[in-house]
Amino acid sequence: MTELLNFNDANSSNRQLRIIDLSDTLQNDKDWSPWWARNSVTYQGHKFGRFAIWLLFGITPKYLRNRLGWANETIELSTHGTTHMDAPWHYAPTSEGKRAKTIDQVPLEWCYGDGVVLDMRHKEDGSAITIADVELALGKINYQLKPFDIVLIQTGNDRRLGSPEYFTHGCGVSAEATHWLIDKGIKVMGIDSWGWDVPLPIQAKQAKASGRKDIFWAAHFVGIDKEYCQLERLANLNQLPPYGFKVSAFPLKIKDASAGPSRVVGIIED
Protein backbone atom coordinates (compact mmCIF):
# COMPACT_ATOMS: atom_id res chain seq x y z
CA MET A 1 0.00 0.00 0.00
CA THR A 2 1.28 3.45 -0.93
CA GLU A 3 -0.23 6.70 0.29
CA LEU A 4 0.55 10.23 -0.90
CA LEU A 5 0.68 13.22 1.41
CA ASN A 6 0.90 16.77 0.07
CA PHE A 7 2.29 19.69 2.07
CA ASN A 8 1.49 23.15 0.76
CA ASP A 9 2.35 25.47 3.65
CA ALA A 10 5.03 28.15 3.36
CA ASN A 11 7.68 26.01 4.98
CA SER A 12 7.13 22.84 2.99
CA SER A 13 7.83 24.05 -0.58
CA ASN A 14 4.96 21.94 -1.90
CA ARG A 15 6.54 18.71 -0.74
CA GLN A 16 4.93 15.39 -1.53
CA LEU A 17 5.60 12.36 0.66
CA ARG A 18 4.98 8.79 -0.33
CA ILE A 19 4.19 6.46 2.57
CA ILE A 20 5.02 2.81 1.84
CA ASP A 21 3.44 0.22 4.13
CA LEU A 22 6.15 -2.26 5.14
CA SER A 23 3.95 -4.20 7.57
CA ASP A 24 2.18 -7.53 7.45
CA THR A 25 -1.60 -7.51 8.03
CA LEU A 26 -2.66 -8.82 11.43
CA GLN A 27 -5.47 -11.28 10.82
CA ASN A 28 -6.74 -14.77 11.59
CA ASP A 29 -4.09 -17.06 10.12
CA LYS A 30 -4.89 -20.56 11.40
CA ASP A 31 -5.24 -21.80 7.82
CA TRP A 32 -1.52 -21.39 7.15
CA SER A 33 0.38 -20.67 10.37
CA PRO A 34 1.67 -23.46 12.64
CA TRP A 35 -0.23 -23.80 15.91
CA TRP A 36 2.51 -22.13 17.93
CA ALA A 37 2.56 -18.99 15.76
CA ARG A 38 -1.12 -18.27 15.15
CA ASN A 39 -2.98 -15.00 15.57
CA SER A 40 -6.65 -14.75 16.48
CA VAL A 41 -8.89 -11.77 15.82
CA THR A 42 -12.45 -11.88 17.17
CA TYR A 43 -14.80 -9.39 15.52
CA GLN A 44 -17.64 -7.87 17.54
CA GLY A 45 -19.95 -6.18 15.08
CA HIS A 46 -22.30 -3.22 15.48
CA LYS A 47 -25.19 -5.41 16.61
CA PHE A 48 -23.00 -6.84 19.34
CA GLY A 49 -22.05 -3.27 20.25
CA ARG A 50 -25.75 -2.39 20.55
CA PHE A 51 -26.17 -5.26 22.99
CA ALA A 52 -23.09 -4.17 24.97
CA ILE A 53 -24.45 -0.62 25.27
CA TRP A 54 -27.75 -1.93 26.58
CA LEU A 55 -25.96 -4.27 29.01
CA LEU A 56 -23.62 -1.56 30.31
CA PHE A 57 -25.82 1.51 30.34
CA GLY A 58 -29.41 0.42 29.85
CA ILE A 59 -29.56 2.34 26.57
CA THR A 60 -31.99 0.78 24.09
CA PRO A 61 -31.75 1.09 20.27
CA LYS A 62 -34.19 4.02 20.16
CA TYR A 63 -31.48 6.17 21.74
CA LEU A 64 -28.89 5.23 19.10
CA ARG A 65 -28.65 7.25 15.91
CA ASN A 66 -28.77 4.29 13.55
CA ARG A 67 -30.07 1.76 16.10
CA LEU A 68 -26.63 0.18 16.13
CA GLY A 69 -23.68 0.33 18.53
CA TRP A 70 -19.93 0.36 18.23
CA ALA A 71 -17.74 -2.20 16.53
CA ASN A 72 -14.90 -3.75 18.50
CA GLU A 73 -12.29 -6.47 18.11
CA THR A 74 -10.27 -8.56 20.50
CA ILE A 75 -6.93 -10.02 19.48
CA GLU A 76 -4.78 -12.84 20.75
CA LEU A 77 -1.24 -12.92 19.44
CA SER A 78 2.38 -13.29 20.34
CA THR A 79 4.38 -10.07 20.45
CA HIS A 80 6.28 -11.74 17.57
CA GLY A 81 3.14 -12.81 15.69
CA THR A 82 3.06 -10.02 13.12
CA THR A 83 5.45 -7.29 11.94
CA HIS A 84 7.37 -6.42 15.10
CA MET A 85 10.55 -5.11 16.67
CA ASP A 86 12.65 -7.47 18.78
CA ALA A 87 14.16 -5.94 21.90
CA PRO A 88 17.56 -7.08 23.24
CA TRP A 89 15.66 -8.92 26.00
CA HIS A 90 14.39 -11.33 23.32
CA TYR A 91 17.89 -12.69 22.75
CA ALA A 92 19.03 -13.12 26.35
CA PRO A 93 18.64 -11.69 29.88
CA THR A 94 21.84 -9.65 29.45
CA SER A 95 23.40 -7.63 26.65
CA GLU A 96 26.89 -6.15 26.73
CA GLY A 97 27.26 -7.32 30.32
CA LYS A 98 24.16 -5.57 31.70
CA ARG A 99 20.46 -6.30 31.91
CA ALA A 100 19.06 -6.36 28.38
CA LYS A 101 16.55 -3.69 27.38
CA THR A 102 12.91 -4.70 27.07
CA ILE A 103 10.80 -3.21 24.32
CA ASP A 104 9.48 -0.40 26.53
CA GLN A 105 13.09 0.64 27.19
CA VAL A 106 14.25 0.81 23.57
CA PRO A 107 15.21 4.44 22.79
CA LEU A 108 12.67 6.03 20.45
CA GLU A 109 15.45 7.66 18.43
CA TRP A 110 16.48 4.17 17.28
CA CYS A 111 13.04 3.66 15.72
CA TYR A 112 13.15 6.44 13.12
CA GLY A 113 15.97 7.08 10.70
CA ASP A 114 17.46 6.85 7.25
CA GLY A 115 16.64 3.56 5.58
CA VAL A 116 18.83 1.37 3.37
CA VAL A 117 17.60 -1.67 1.42
CA LEU A 118 20.10 -4.42 0.64
CA ASP A 119 18.87 -6.78 -2.09
CA MET A 120 19.56 -10.42 -1.21
CA ARG A 121 16.91 -12.00 -3.41
CA HIS A 122 19.60 -13.97 -5.21
CA LYS A 123 20.46 -15.95 -2.07
CA GLU A 124 19.29 -19.57 -2.00
CA ASP A 125 16.87 -21.01 0.53
CA GLY A 126 18.67 -21.95 3.70
CA SER A 127 21.77 -19.91 2.95
CA ALA A 128 23.33 -17.35 5.27
CA ILE A 129 24.00 -13.76 4.24
CA THR A 130 27.68 -13.05 4.83
CA ILE A 131 29.75 -9.92 5.40
CA ALA A 132 30.90 -10.18 1.80
CA ASP A 133 27.26 -10.26 0.64
CA VAL A 134 26.50 -7.09 2.60
CA GLU A 135 29.60 -5.30 1.33
CA LEU A 136 28.81 -6.28 -2.25
CA ALA A 137 25.20 -5.07 -1.93
CA LEU A 138 26.38 -1.73 -0.51
CA GLY A 139 28.90 -1.39 -3.33
CA LYS A 140 26.23 -1.97 -5.96
CA ILE A 141 24.18 0.95 -4.66
CA ASN A 142 27.27 3.06 -3.86
CA TYR A 143 26.22 3.63 -0.27
CA GLN A 144 28.30 3.92 2.90
CA LEU A 145 26.56 3.08 6.15
CA LYS A 146 26.48 5.59 8.97
CA PRO A 147 25.45 5.17 12.62
CA PHE A 148 21.71 4.76 13.24
CA ASP A 149 20.83 3.92 9.65
CA ILE A 150 18.03 1.35 9.59
CA VAL A 151 19.18 -1.51 7.36
CA LEU A 152 16.48 -3.60 5.66
CA ILE A 153 17.39 -6.96 4.13
CA GLN A 154 15.27 -7.84 1.09
CA THR A 155 14.98 -11.58 0.54
CA GLY A 156 11.64 -11.64 -1.27
CA ASN A 157 10.28 -14.12 1.27
CA ASP A 158 7.25 -11.90 1.90
CA ARG A 159 5.85 -13.44 -1.29
CA ARG A 160 5.25 -16.57 0.82
CA LEU A 161 3.01 -14.76 3.33
CA GLY A 162 -0.18 -16.78 3.56
CA SER A 163 1.52 -20.16 3.08
CA PRO A 164 3.23 -22.60 5.50
CA GLU A 165 6.46 -22.23 3.51
CA TYR A 166 6.84 -18.73 4.96
CA PHE A 167 8.11 -20.30 8.19
CA THR A 168 10.50 -22.81 6.63
CA HIS A 169 11.95 -21.21 3.49
CA GLY A 170 14.16 -18.26 2.62
CA CYS A 171 17.62 -17.12 3.61
CA GLY A 172 18.80 -15.37 6.76
CA VAL A 173 21.62 -13.23 8.09
CA SER A 174 24.76 -14.76 9.55
CA ALA A 175 26.06 -13.95 13.01
CA GLU A 176 29.21 -12.49 11.45
CA ALA A 177 27.25 -10.10 9.22
CA THR A 178 25.10 -9.09 12.19
CA HIS A 179 28.23 -8.27 14.21
CA TRP A 180 29.56 -6.28 11.26
CA LEU A 181 26.41 -4.18 10.94
CA ILE A 182 26.38 -3.38 14.65
CA ASP A 183 30.03 -2.34 14.45
CA LYS A 184 28.98 0.17 11.78
CA GLY A 185 26.66 1.81 14.30
CA ILE A 186 23.45 0.10 13.19
CA LYS A 187 20.99 -0.27 16.05
CA VAL A 188 17.94 -1.45 14.09
CA MET A 189 18.02 -3.92 11.21
CA GLY A 190 15.12 -5.71 9.57
CA ILE A 191 14.16 -8.46 7.15
CA ASP A 192 11.13 -9.43 5.04
CA SER A 193 11.05 -12.95 6.46
CA TRP A 194 9.66 -14.64 9.53
CA GLY A 195 13.02 -14.29 11.28
CA TRP A 196 16.44 -12.66 11.00
CA ASP A 197 18.33 -15.95 11.14
CA VAL A 198 18.42 -18.71 8.56
CA PRO A 199 15.04 -20.52 8.90
CA LEU A 200 15.05 -22.28 12.26
CA PRO A 201 14.13 -25.79 11.01
CA ILE A 202 17.25 -25.65 8.82
CA GLN A 203 19.43 -24.36 11.66
CA ALA A 204 18.06 -27.04 14.01
CA LYS A 205 19.00 -29.76 11.55
CA GLN A 206 22.49 -28.30 11.08
CA ALA A 207 23.05 -27.95 14.82
CA LYS A 208 22.02 -31.54 15.56
CA ALA A 209 24.19 -32.89 12.75
CA SER A 210 27.26 -30.97 13.88
CA GLY A 211 26.83 -31.15 17.64
CA ARG A 212 27.80 -27.47 17.83
CA LYS A 213 26.16 -24.76 19.94
CA ASP A 214 27.04 -21.81 17.68
CA ILE A 215 24.62 -22.59 14.83
CA PHE A 216 21.06 -22.48 16.13
CA TRP A 217 19.77 -18.88 16.47
CA ALA A 218 23.33 -17.67 15.94
CA ALA A 219 22.49 -14.17 14.67
CA HIS A 220 19.96 -13.54 17.44
CA PHE A 221 22.52 -14.58 20.05
CA VAL A 222 24.81 -11.79 18.83
CA GLY A 223 22.57 -9.64 21.01
CA ILE A 224 24.27 -11.12 24.07
CA ASP A 225 27.51 -9.44 23.05
CA LYS A 226 26.22 -6.33 21.27
CA GLU A 227 23.01 -4.40 21.78
CA TYR A 228 20.70 -4.12 18.78
CA CYS A 229 17.09 -4.59 17.64
CA GLN A 230 15.54 -6.50 14.75
CA LEU A 231 12.49 -5.82 12.63
CA GLU A 232 10.95 -9.06 11.43
CA ARG A 233 8.04 -9.98 9.15
CA LEU A 234 8.43 -6.89 6.95
CA ALA A 235 6.83 -6.67 3.51
CA ASN A 236 6.91 -4.62 0.30
CA LEU A 237 10.60 -3.74 0.41
CA ASN A 238 10.51 -3.92 -3.40
CA GLN A 239 8.55 -0.63 -3.34
CA LEU A 240 11.46 1.25 -1.77
CA PRO A 241 14.53 2.77 -3.42
CA PRO A 242 17.91 1.47 -2.18
CA TYR A 243 18.27 4.56 0.03
CA GLY A 244 17.01 8.15 0.31
CA PHE A 245 13.99 7.39 2.47
CA LYS A 246 13.07 7.32 6.13
CA VAL A 247 11.89 4.35 8.17
CA SER A 248 9.36 4.75 10.96
CA ALA A 249 9.21 1.64 13.14
CA PHE A 250 7.76 2.47 16.55
CA PRO A 251 6.75 -0.63 18.55
CA LEU A 252 3.91 -0.92 21.02
CA LYS A 253 5.08 0.04 24.50
CA ILE A 254 4.56 -3.25 26.32
CA LYS A 255 5.98 -3.41 29.83
CA ASP A 256 8.92 -5.80 30.24
CA ALA A 257 8.26 -7.41 26.83
CA SER A 258 10.71 -9.04 24.43
CA ALA A 259 9.10 -7.43 21.36
CA GLY A 260 6.40 -5.06 20.22
CA PRO A 261 4.11 -5.29 17.19
CA SER A 262 4.92 -2.33 14.93
CA ARG A 263 3.34 -0.50 12.01
CA VAL A 264 6.51 -0.05 9.97
CA VAL A 265 6.44 2.38 7.04
CA GLY A 266 8.92 3.83 4.58
CA ILE A 267 8.66 7.56 3.92
CA ILE A 268 9.88 8.90 0.57
CA GLU A 269 10.02 12.61 -0.15
CA ASP A 270 9.51 13.35 -3.85
Report all structural domains of the chain as residue ranges with CATH numbers, in order of start: 40-76 (no CATH), 84-269 (3.50.30.50)
Q: Please, are residues 177 and 129 in contact by the beta-carbon 8 Å criterion?
A: yes
pLDDT in tens, 193-250: 999 999 999 999 999 999 999 999 999 999 999 999 999 999 999 999 999 999 999 9
Question: Which residues are registered as beta bridge partners of 229?
Answer: 188
pLDDT in tens, 10-41: 555 677 999 999 999 999 999 999 999 999 99
How many angstroms separate the CA atoms of 147 and 168, rounded?
A: 32
Q: Is a pLDDT exceeding 70 seen at residue 6?
A: no
Nearby residues of 130 by Cβ (< 8 Å), 6 or more positions away: 174, 176, 177
The stretch 113-126 carries a mean pLDDT of: 98
- The pLDDT, as a whole number, for residue 14 is 72
The stretch 172-189 carries a mean pLDDT of: 98
pTM of the model: 0.94
Reported as a pLDDT band with limits 50, 70 and 90, residue 270 is confident
How many angstroms separate the CA atoms of 239 and 94, rounded?
A: 37
